[in-house]
Structure 1
Amino acid sequence: MRLHVIAVGRQKAGPEADLVEDYLARFDKTGRALGLGPVALREVEDRKGGGMAAEAELLRKAIPDGARLAILDERGRIETSPDFANRLARWRDDGVRDLALIIGGADGIDPALRADADFALSFGKMVWPHMLVRVMLSEQLYRAASILAGSPYHRV
């Protein structure tokens, strides 16, 4: 199952970008044997200032045809890392070829796009900066692959 992290905004060079790159590389290495990956990071940017609706249109264009759509949203489901790993494995085992993981901009995800999502995931009741969410998602993807591989990376 190919994964596509599609995010609003351009991440500048720095520690956050380094962490995303590192975790996604680890995920690709671990996930390959599990039928997960590769993972691609795609960034979209609304240069005209059209707000959430314009961002949603750009996000929609970046989503592969037929992809399962999962959004990162504060109203989404809060899951444990093993639950998230099992969800990825179920999607893979159900024949999902592409999974699009959507990270909105500073104002969140347009309600129409949110309504089209197959799944909404939350990293807790707090709101996180969307650039930091990339790091958190990348780490959780690697953690999920590690859990499924039986690696000691995830300890309870």
Structure 2
Amino acid sequence: MKINLIAIGKKMPDWIQTGITHYQKQLPRELNFTLTTPEAQKRKGKNIEQIKELEGELLIKASASANLIVAFDEHGKQHSTKEIAKAMKDWQQNGDSVALLIGGADGLSNTIKQQAHQLWGLSNLTLPHSIARLLAVEQIYRAHSLLTNHPYHRE
């Protein structure tokens, strides 16, 4: 199994990057987790739809090697940690290469939403882009800890 979290934008607040690094270090190597961060598009002279399409092209390119694409979207299906753990177990059993996509500040293009195999929601709350990234990494770690009976996850 390979999991690649692909999130638009390179510059994160230090405290977000510290949190992401913390959870990445906790993940075992066999999980084969990577974080890819294509550069956000410049806004000058472009409308929101143009920006989302350009960023969508970057997400598609970065996820080309994946056989399963899951895009995080505000209208996506909400999953519990147990459901995420079950999905990860299935990915592992199938030998899947999974791309988890987080769009830029304006969200995902319609092209990405149509090409994704699944749309997942992270929260009913409106989250800053950087917190969505941190939450996704933490949930990957939490789901892994649930699968390995590590005491991090508590009911």
Runs of at least 4 residues off by over 4 Å: none
Aligned residue for 2:47? none
Aligned residue for 1:114? 113
Give the residue type in structure 2 aligned to 1:93: Q
CA contact (8 A) 2:78 2:123 kept: yes
TM norm structure 1: 0.89
CA contact (8 A) 2:81 2:139 kept: yes
Alpha-carbon separation, structure 2, partners of 1:73 and 1:46: 17
Aligned residue for 2:3? 3
Alpha-carbon separation, structure 2, partners of 1:106 and 1:152: 34
Are residue 105 (structure 1) and residue 110 (structure 2) matched? no
- 5+ long unaligned stretches in structure 2: 44-49
CA contact (8 A) 1:20 1:135 kept: yes
Alpha-carbon separation, structure 2, partners of 1:10 and 1:22: 17
What are the equivalent positions in structure 2 for 1:15-94 lying under 5 Å apart?
Answer: 15-28=15-28, 32=30, 37-49=31-43, 50-94=50-94
- 5+ long unaligned stretches in structure 1: none
CA contact (8 A) 1:46 1:54 kept: no
Number of matched pairs? 149
> Residue 66 of structure 1: CA displacement?
4.0
Alpha-carbon separation, structure 1, partners of 2:41 and 2:116: 25
CA contact (8 A) 1:3 1:39 kept: yes
CA contact (8 A) 1:11 1:131 kept: no
CA contact (8 A) 2:69 2:118 kept: yes
CA contact (8 A) 1:73 1:121 kept: yes
Instruction: Give deviations 1:1-35, integer Å, cap 9, x for gaps.
Output: 11111111113351100100110111235xx2xxx
Give the residue type in structure 2 aligned to 1:39: F
> Residue 94 of structure 1: CA displacement?
2.1
Alignment RMSD: 1.5
> Residue 77 of structure 1: CA displacement?
1.0
Alpha-carbon separation, structure 2, partners of 1:11 and 1:140: 21
Alpha-carbon separation, structure 1, partners of 2:41 and 2:109: 17
Alpha-carbon separation, structure 1, partners of 2:121 and 2:85: 15
